[in-house]
Amino acid sequence: MADRRPEKSCEQACESLKQQDYEVAVKHCTEALLSLSQYPPAHLPEACRAEIDRIKIETLLYRIASFLQLKKYGQADEDCRH
């Protein structure tokens, strides 16, 4: 039978919310990376390219951290290769 203590229910609710937060973070990071990839680097000034590269790196790091929190090591490892 499941543990019905209020503390356990609260812990499970918090854990579920954290997982949802990390899943949303991955989704937003993925959308940001897809959006940034639509800008052809050849047509941008050097300063813009540098800023976009910085944002891409930061976004990948957030994705990696979120995947690790979700224990999706394979996907985090794939991001590391990029």
Cβ atoms of 36 and 55 closer than 8 Å? yes
**Domain annotation covers residue 5:** no
The CA distances from residue 42 to 23, 52, 54, in Å, are: 33, 13, 17
Spans of the chain below 50 pLDDT: 1
**Domain annotation covers residue 12:** no
Alpha-carbon distance of 28 to 26, in angstroms, equals: 6
What tens digit of pLDDT does each residue of 39-54 get?
777 777 888 888 888 9
Which range of residues forms the domain containing residue 46?
Answer: 20-80
**Domain annotation covers residue 33:** yes
**Coil, strand, or helix at residue 2?**
coil
Identify the pLDDT of residue 2. 55
Identify the pLDDT of residue 66. 93
pTM beyond 0.85: no
**Domain annotation covers residue 13:** no
Domain count, the chain: 1
Cβ atoms of 5 and 38 closer than 8 Å? no
**Domain annotation covers residue 37:** yes
